[in-house]
Amino acid sequence: MSAIEFAVIGGTGLTEIEGLEVIHREVVHTPYGEPSGPVTHGMIAGKRIVFLARHGYTHNIPPHRVNYRANLWALRSLGVKKIVAIAAVGGITPEMQPMRLVIPDQIVDYTHGRAHTFFEDGLTDVTHIDFSWPYCAEVRNALLAAAECAKLDVVPRGTYAATQGPRLETAAEITRLERDGCDLVGMTAMPEAALARELDLCYAACAVVANWAAGKDNEEITMDDIHQNLVVGMANARALLRALVC
């Protein structure tokens, strides 16, 4: 069988890839415990990919409880080298309008208490990865090229603020994130991106703006609005994934 081209980690609004020709689902056990669910092997536009739903296929695992280490370890154990993460986010700066796709290029980590490294068991020399550029250029560039090829509107950069959740932020917290230089806010980029780097996996993300972040318009943030925006945004994200393998 052909090699896996890349893995997709789907998040809120993408617990399966419509149009994916499923080959089989594989339960993978790891030294770090169980991943969020079985890994789905499938074909998209004639290429082999694997898919994993970050919050579980029934979307029941909150962001601070995702076993990020098991997810990344499982994908690598299957031979995955490249990962596209799909992530719903709140938009902070004016370009980051609901339903838009963004290919972020930076992260600020505000999470705490998550298992965030593979290098802590004392079995290897103390290891400090370079994380100056947290997203892998090769997959980022492939996403940008796919967007151009499919004529999809994407914002080509943005700083992702990773918050702890599961609650949404206060308006004052969003003001602080904006002051810190953040454009987008979500709850899952960390430790996911850093763990991918620790395993030498080429990892980049497509963020889908689900709502204006707290205080950015005068409306209450409702899950109904988020879901409606994600229906449109995720359809574009799926088109981007198809273009990635065309």
Which of ligand LNRAV4D5, ligand HPA, none does residue 185 bind to, with CB < 5 to 8 Å depending on kind? Answer: ligand HPA
> Is residue 168 part of the contact set for ligand HPA (CB under 6 A)?
yes
> Is residue 13 part of the contact set for ligand HPA (CB under 6 A)?
no
**Which of 42, 63, 104, 158 is close enough to bind ligand LNRAV4D5 by CB under 6 A?**
63
Residue-wise DSSP of the chain: -PPP-EEEEE-TT-SS-TT-EEEEEE---BTTB--SSPEEEEEETTEEEEEEETTTTTT-S-GGG--HHHHHHHHHHTT--EEEEEEEEEE-STT--TT-EE---EEEE---SS---S--SSSS-------SS-S-HHHHHHHHHHHHHTT--EE---EEEE---SSPPPHHHHHHHHHTT--EEESSHHHHHHHHHHTT-EEEEEEEEEEEPTTSSSSPP-HHHHHHHHHHHHHHHHHHHHHHT-
C-alpha count within 13 angstroms, C-beta hemisphere, residue 144 = 14
Which of ligand LNRAV4D5, ligand HPA, none does residue 11 bind to, with CB < 5 to 8 Å depending on kind? Answer: ligand LNRAV4D5
State in angstroms the smallest separation of the CB of 207 from ligand LNRAV4D5.
Answer: 8
Query: Between residue 204 and residue 223, which ones bind ligand LNRAV4D5 under the rule CB under 6 A?
Result: 210
> Is residue 187 part of the contact set for ligand LNRAV4D5 (CB under 6 A)?
yes
* 54 annotated ligand binder: yes
159 φ, ψ (degrees, to nearest 5):
-100, 125
> Is residue 88 part of the contact set for ligand HPA (CB under 6 A)?
yes
State in angstroms the smallest separation of the CB of 14 from ligand LNRAV4D5.
Answer: 7
> Is residue 92 part of the contact set for ligand HPA (CB under 6 A)?
no
**Which of 17, 155, 226, 241 is close enough to bind ligand LNRAV4D5 by CB under 6 A?**
226
Q: List interacting residues with ligand LNRAV4D5 (CB under 6 A).
A: 11-12, 54-55, 63, 87-88, 165, 186-188, 210, 226
Q: List interacting residues with ligand HPA (CB under 6 A).
A: 88-90, 163, 168-169, 185-187, 210-211, 213
Q: Which parts are annotated binding residues? A: 12, 54-55, 187-188, 211-213
